[in-house]
Chain A
C-alpha cells in the first residue's frame, strides 16, 4: 500500500506554486495529488471482505484490445474488466467468452485463471487484414476477422476462445510439445476444454452438446457446420473449395505428414473422439467427470512434454483410478474410450 509523506494540502499548495521559482515541484505535486486520488478511489470501491469470499486474484481480470486491422500487438485498449459492452461485437464476444472460460476453470476445477495464479486475461481483436485465424501467442489471444469468403470473425464461437485459452493452460501445466503426437494431444486438450467451456456456459449434457469446434466460423457459402467434430471426426465439413474434413477418428488412419507441425490439427481427431467416447459412456455433464479426468491428467505432473497418445491414455486411466477408484465406472470408461480409437491402454483394474 502506497503511503505519502507530504500531506495533500501541501501538495495542493505546491501544485499552484509559481513555476518561475520552482521548475519541477508543481508538476511533481500535481502527479502526487493524482495518485492520491486514484488510491482513494480504489479504497472506496474495494468491496468489504465477506465471510467465505474468494481470495484476491481469483476474480477474472479481462482486457480487450483492438489491433485495428494491423499486426501490431497489443493494439488499442478498448474494454477492461467491469466496463460496459460497446458496439463492437468482436470485443463483446471475446470479453464474454474469456469470462466463460475463466468460470469453467475456477468453478469446476478450482483453478485461478490460466496459470492457476490469477493471470489477467488479455485478448486482441481485429488483427491483420482478411486474417482467417486465431492464436495464443504465449501471453494473449489474438483474433482475426476472417476473409469474408470462407471465414467470418473468429470470436464468433465460444469454443474457439476456450481453445485458445486452453493452450495457455497447457503451457503452464503439461506443456505438451507442439508437434507430432504430443502436438496433436496439445491440440486435442484445447478442443476438449474449448468444447467444455461452451457446454458449461449453456449447461448442456454430453447428449445435448454438439461436440463441434468452431461452429459458426464459416460463411454461408461453405458447406459445413464447423471446423471439427469431436464425436465424428472427418464429418464437420465437405465443401467444393475447402475439400472434406480430413480428420481421422482412429489410430488406423493416423496421418504422417510434415505439414502443420506433423498434422497436429489432423490427428487431434483421435484423442478428441476418445474424450467424446468417455463423456458419452458416462453421460451427464461432461465437465464433471470426463473433463475432471482430463484436467487431473494435465496438472498431475506425470506427463512428459513429448507424450505419445499411448502415454497420455495411460495417464488418463491412472488419473481416473486415482480419483474414482481402479474398478470405477470412470476408470473403465476412460480405458474403453482409448480402446475405441485404437490406442492400446491397460485398464486400471
Chain B
C-alpha cells in the first residue's frame, strides 16, 4: 500500500517525490496508526496569506478509500510533519540501499 509525498515549488521550483510501500514495511501497524491520525479532511486549512517560494506538498495514501491532501509548507506540522518526515527517511534509506546493492555485486539482493 503506497504512501506518496510530493514536494513542488520552493525557490528552485523542483518537484521531488518520496514513496513507501507501508504493507512491505516491518512496522506496518504503526504506519496505519499514523495515517489514521492525520487530519485528511481538514487540509488545507482556510486560506492564509501565501508565502512566496515555500514548498507545496501533496500527500496521498492508497488506503480504502484512497486519501489525498495538498498542503502549503507552513501547514505541514504535527502528524502531517511526522508522516512526511517518516516517508522521506524510509524512502531515502531504501534508495541509498538500492544504490549500494547496485554497485556491489557481492551484496545480497535488495528484497523490496
Whether A136 pairs with B9 at a CB distance below 8 angstroms is no
Chain B residues whose C-beta falls within 8 Å of the C-beta of A187 in the assembled complex = 52
Chain B residues whose C-beta falls within 8 Å of the C-beta of A138 in the assembled complex = 49, 51
Among B25-33, B34-42, B53-61, the one that faces the other chain is B53-61
Contact for B10 among A133, A137, A177, A190, CB less than 8 A = A133
Within the complex, the shortest CB–CB distance from B69 to chain A, in Å, comes to 13
Q: Report if A11 contacts B (CB, 8 A).
A: no
Whether A260 pairs with B56 at a CB distance below 8 angstroms is yes
Q: Do A163 and B56 form a contact, CB below 8 Å, given A137-B51, A138-B49, A178-B50?
A: no
Within the complex, the shortest CB–CB distance from A324 to chain B, in Å, comes to 30
Chain B residues whose C-beta falls within 8 Å of the C-beta of A160 in the assembled complex = 11
Chain B residues whose C-beta falls within 8 Å of the C-beta of A164 in the assembled complex = 11, 52-53
Q: Report if A299 contacts B (CB, 8 A).
A: no
The contact string, 1 if C-beta is below 8 Å from chain A, for chain B 1-19, is 0000010111111110000
Q: Report if A198 contacts B (CB, 8 A).
A: no
User: How many B residues are at the interface, by size bracket?
Assistant: 10 to 19
Within the complex, the shortest CB–CB distance from A269 to chain B, in Å, comes to 10
Chain B residues whose C-beta falls within 8 Å of the C-beta of A132 in the assembled complex = 10, 12
A164 to B10, CA, bound (A): 11
Chain B residues whose C-beta falls within 8 Å of the C-beta of A137 in the assembled complex = 51
Whether A242 pairs with B53 at a CB distance below 8 angstroms is no
Whether B52 pairs with A167 at a CB distance below 8 angstroms is yes
- Count of A-B contacts with CB under 8 A? 68
Contact for B53 among A133, A177, A217, A259, CB less than 8 A = A133
Q: Report if A186 contacts B (CB, 8 A).
A: yes
Whether A178 pairs with B13 at a CB distance below 8 angstroms is no
A266 to B50, CA, bound (A): 18
Whether B54 pairs with A135 at a CB distance below 8 angstroms is yes
Whether B11 pairs with A259 at a CB distance below 8 angstroms is no
Whether B10 pairs with A178 at a CB distance below 8 angstroms is no
User: How many A residues are at the interface, by size bracket?
Assistant: 20 to 34
Whether A136 pairs with B53 at a CB distance below 8 angstroms is yes
Q: Say whether chain A's binding surface is mostly helix, strand, loop, or mixed.
A: mixed
Q: Say whether chain B's binding surface is mostly helix, strand, loop, or mixed.
A: loop
- Of A132, A217, A228, chain B has the most CB atoms within 10 Å of the CB of A132
Write the chain B residue with the least CB distance to A179.
B50
A6 to B10, CA, bound (A): 55
Chain B residues whose C-beta falls within 8 Å of the C-beta of A217 in the assembled complex = 12
Contact for B52 among A135, A227, A228, CB less than 8 A = A135
A170 to B32, CA, bound (A): 44
Whether B14 pairs with A242 at a CB distance below 8 angstroms is yes
Q: Do A136 and B12 form a contact, CB below 8 Å, given A259-B56, A260-B56?
A: no
Q: Report if A134 contacts B (CB, 8 A).
A: yes
Chain A residues whose C-beta falls within 8 Å of the C-beta of B55 in the assembled complex = 133
The contact string, 1 if C-beta is below 8 Å from chain B, for chain A 206-242, is 0000000010010000000001100000000000001
A235 to B104, CA, bound (A): 35
**Among residues 151 to 178 in chain A, which have CB atoms less than 8 Å away from a CB atom of chain B?**
151, 154, 160, 163-164, 167, 177-178
A184 to B7, CA, bound (A): 18
Chain B residues whose C-beta falls within 8 Å of the C-beta of A332 in the assembled complex = none
Within the complex, the shortest CB–CB distance from B86 to chain A, in Å, comes to 15
Whether A133 pairs with B52 at a CB distance below 8 angstroms is no
Whether A265 pairs with B51 at a CB distance below 8 angstroms is no
Q: Report if A304 contacts B (CB, 8 A).
A: no
Chain B residues whose C-beta falls within 8 Å of the C-beta of A190 in the assembled complex = 52
A-B contact pairs, 11 of them (CB 8 A): A133-B11, A133-B12, A133-B53, A133-B55, A135-B52, A135-B53, A137-B51, A167-B52, A261-B50, A264-B9, A265-B10
Shortest beta-carbon contacts, A-B, top 4: A265-B13, A259-B8, A135-B53, A167-B52
- A167-B52, A227-B13, A260-B15 known; 11 new pairs, CB 8 Å cut-off, are A164-B53, A167-B53, A217-B12, A228-B13, A259-B6, A259-B8, A259-B15, A260-B8, A261-B9, A261-B56, A266-B13
| Residues of A participating in the B interface, judged by any CB pair closer than 8 Å | 132-138, 151, 154, 160, 163-164, 167, 177-179, 186-187, 190, 214, 217, 227-228, 242, 259-261, 264-266
